[in-house]
A and B are shown apart, each in its own frame.
Chain A
């Protein structure tokens, strides 16, 4: 009986369409900032939607459906980027910058169309991901550490480096 009531209270197909129409841009932008790859960002949103649909009976009505899917999409993006570049997540303290961006990446970053997007491009994967999760997604440091399977101290260091680099590159971009 409880299960039946719960399933009756699950978000409907129409509600899913409604949030896709209203919020898909934001989910895609968040995934694009994390992955810097349009294909992976697309897959992350797709995975998140199907996962949310399959688990919609677990959705609590006190929460917002779009926020719930947003969080799932960010998690999916993190999973995809770790699968695509597993080595990136091992030397977390590394100062080695990213590979030269491919045309796809450049196009995706241009689509973000802000100085910040350009400045984010100068960061390593770990710095960018920590900054995006902390500053734009407003995750707690502890949550980021858990999700990336590392320590809060490591996340703090990556975040500090990201903020320092961004302050310099944003100032440079403004002065141009």
Chain B
């Protein structure tokens, strides 16, 4: 007696031995009731085969495009840093500073000078100081996360290993939690800034990365985390301002 489970595997052409397949084929030829049951199964299964594909939210698609651009930028920044042989440390420190300025300068500027012009319902532009909208508890949590990330990155082994990859993936996950919290706190610029770290962290987590590239990326991240922490410390949250 051939049951529906066997017919399901026969439909998928997977999970049955040649002998079992032949047995089903023969039974389908000789047993009209079984053949009818199989037809019904096939009809239902094929109805499920091409479900409607929803459109991904446009802001997510935009973010995915951005992540490729950022990954490409961080990659281009790293090789430029390692060309200076004997003065490698000083040159990559300079390179790190320049790369950091290029990659995150715009985002930092938007966040900390923070003047986004938004239209009011009557069309009058209003400047909102975004940084002033960051709740202090969120800022404190963010500072702890950034400090811990800084410490963890500094203590990463020089060579790429499974342990360091796992640690970096944890930092990425925490970063995403803060990014979501930033979105919920109506601070999209902070979220954007945190998102900007991700391609660099992901590249660092790649086990194929050359040690000198990893070193350059760590320097870049250390610099950026420092800038963000300094600014957070000197830019305490106050009230929201509109002009």
Interface residues in chain A, defined as those with a beta carbon under 8 Å from any beta carbon in chain B: 13, 16-17, 20-21, 24-29, 32, 39, 42-43, 45-47, 49-51, 53-55, 111-114, 116-117, 134-136, 140-141, 152, 156, 159-160, 163-164, 166-167, 170
Contact = CB atoms under 8 A, between A and B. Distances in A.
Given A21-B61, A25-B56, A117-B51, 12 more contacts: A27-B56, A28-B54, A29-B54, A32-B54, A43-B176, A49-B68, A54-B202, A54-B206, A54-B208, A134-B14, A156-B5, A156-B9
Interface stretch (B42-50, B106-114, B132-140): B42-50
B165 to A, nearest CB: 11
A39 B7 CA distance: 37
Contact of B199 (A13, A29, A50): A50
Q: Give the dominant DSSP class at A's interface.
A: helix
Nearest to A58: B208
B61 A170 contact: no
A16 to B, nearest CB: 5
18 contacts: A17-B68, A24-B60, A24-B61, A28-B56, A28-B60, A29-B51, A42-B60, A45-B64, A49-B67, A50-B67, A54-B202, A54-B206, A55-B208, A111-B54, A117-B51, A152-B15, A163-B8, A166-B48
A84 B214 CA distance: 29
B63 to A, nearest CB: 7
Contacts of B25: none
Contacts of B67: 46, 49-50
B227 interface: no
Contacts of B206: 51, 54-55
B55 interface: yes
For the side of the interface on B, what is the size category?
A: 35 or more
Contacts of A51: 202, 206
A151 B208 CA distance: 31
A151 B72 CA distance: 40
A42 B198 CA distance: 14
A39 B63 contact: no
B29 interface: no
A13 B60 contact: no
A134 B12 CA distance: 8
Given A24-B64, A32-B54, A39-B180, A135 B5 contact: no
Q: Give the dominant DSSP class at B's interface.
A: helix
B61 A135 contact: no
B44 A167 contact: yes
Contact of A46 (B55, B63, B72, B208): B63
A50 B52 contact: no
Nearest to A17: B65
User: In the complex, which of the residues B48, B49, B60, B72 has the most CB atoms of chain A within 10 Å of its own CB atom?
Assistant: B48
Contacts of B33: none
A121 to B, nearest CB: 13
B64 A140 contact: no
Given A13-B68, A45-B64, A53-B71, A135 B208 contact: no
Interface in B142-167: none
B68 A116 contact: no
A102 to B, nearest CB: 14
B68 A24 contact: no
B17 to A, nearest CB: 12
B82 interface: no
User: In the complex, which of the residues A16, A17, A111 has the most CB atoms of chain B within 10 Å of its own CB atom?
Assistant: A16
